[in-house]
Copies of this chain bind each other. A is one copy, B any other.
Amino acid sequence: MADLAHNITLVGAGTIGLSFAALHLTKNPSCKVTIYDTRPDLQAYVKQHLPGYLIDTDHDACLARLIFANDLQDAVKDATVVQEQGPENADFKVSIWPQIEQHAPANAIFWSSTSGIPASVQGAQMHDTSRLVVVHPYNPPHIMPLLEVVPSSQTSQVVVDRTVSYWRALGRTPVVVKKECTGFVANRLAFALFREACSLVSQGVVDVKDLDEIVQASMGPRWSVAGPFKSYHAGGGEGGLASFMEKIGGTVQECWEASEDDVRKGAITVGGVWQGDVCRQTDEAYGVVATAERDEKTRKVLAAVGRT
């Protein structure tokens, strides 16, 4: 995929679809983007909302490279890539891929933006599952660099390679996840910290806003520059992570055990009694979040670490 002259068909024109459209159009000046959605007002809807996702670019030039399609067969017939972000349920995905496969060119590859339905499940009724791979964005994809590339055991290496080189060429950060697993990697990590956050808040150790402040003034900036392994490896000095575990391991283990106890005692499961108070506190702390301001700051942070 050194050649970026792609025809990319987006299936689904929700917020992820629009964000990906903006990303392809701004970062890949030689691509054409087709947006497929069954909504009757598709063209008007996209023209109204897409400009909000187009940053530092000529809106008209971008819109000129957009094609609208209400018919799936039409939408995919010239595609080199079909990128799906339809409803997040397995039935939808299982049923749409055979239709796409039937009408797309033989060498087109297929990406699903799912946050949790693995390619091995989605491909159940496909003829050739080697073409399908999950490309899970971290929202919103026109801002955040990460793309988790999650092949099934049947996805071909060529498809993985083409996927990775496309995103690299666009300056993004595709990372291949080696085994399909529940929630993939980014959400697994984030939700693990989030559960601990919910547990600490529900115990009254810290309130919602102070917990966020703690993360924003410590792990956030640190992990923008060096992930957890690199950070603790540095923390161990010359002996690295092994030395860190030797020196600080006792505290780490105590924390892990305290977490388990607290999560169990607090019954920190989704829909538990704790949830109402945590949601109420969050609502009181933030009201409606100004995402445009958040995204602008995030872009500054990304620029500071050389990511765009």
Q: In the assembly, what is the distance between CA of A240 and CA of B285, in Å?
A: 11
Report the minimal beta-carbon distance from A222 to chain B, rounded to whole angstroms: 6
The interface stretch among A19-27, A54-62, A154-162, A202-210 is A202-210
- Residue-wise, chain A 186-198 has the 8 Å CB interface mask toward B (1 for contact) of 1111111111110
CB neighbours (8 Å) of A298 from chain B are 221-222, 224-225
Report the minimal beta-carbon distance from A144 to chain B, rounded to whole angstroms: 6
- Residue-wise, chain A 137-164 has the 8 Å CB interface mask toward B (1 for contact) of 0110000111010000000000000000
Complex partner residue of A220 from B222, B253, B257, CB under 8 angstroms: B222
Do B178 and A204 have beta carbons less than 8 Å apart? Answer: yes
Do B197 and A181 have beta carbons less than 8 Å apart? Answer: no
For A287, the closest partner residue in chain B by CB is B240
CB neighbours (8 Å) of A218 from chain B are 138, 144-146, 186, 190
The interface stretch among A71-79, A102-110, A124-132, A244-252 is A244-252
Chain A contact residue count (CB 8 A cutoff): 106
For A251, the closest partner residue in chain B by CB is B116
Give this chain's copy count.
2
Complex partner residue of A256 from B176, B197, B269, CB under 8 angstroms: B269
- Residue-wise, chain A 171-193 has the 8 Å CB interface mask toward B (1 for contact) of 00101111101110111111111
Q: In the assembly, what is the distance between CA of A235 and CA of B182, in Å?
A: 20
A230 adjacent to chain B (CB < 8 Å): yes
A258 adjacent to chain B (CB < 8 Å): yes
The interface stretch among A2-10, A42-50, A276-284 is A276-284
Do A305 and B221 have beta carbons less than 8 Å apart? Answer: yes
Q: In the assembly, what is the distance between CA of A208 and CA of B178, in Å?
A: 12
For A184, the closest partner residue in chain B by CB is B205
CB neighbours (8 Å) of A175 from chain B are 206, 210, 213-214, 217
Do A205 and B225 have beta carbons less than 8 Å apart? Answer: no
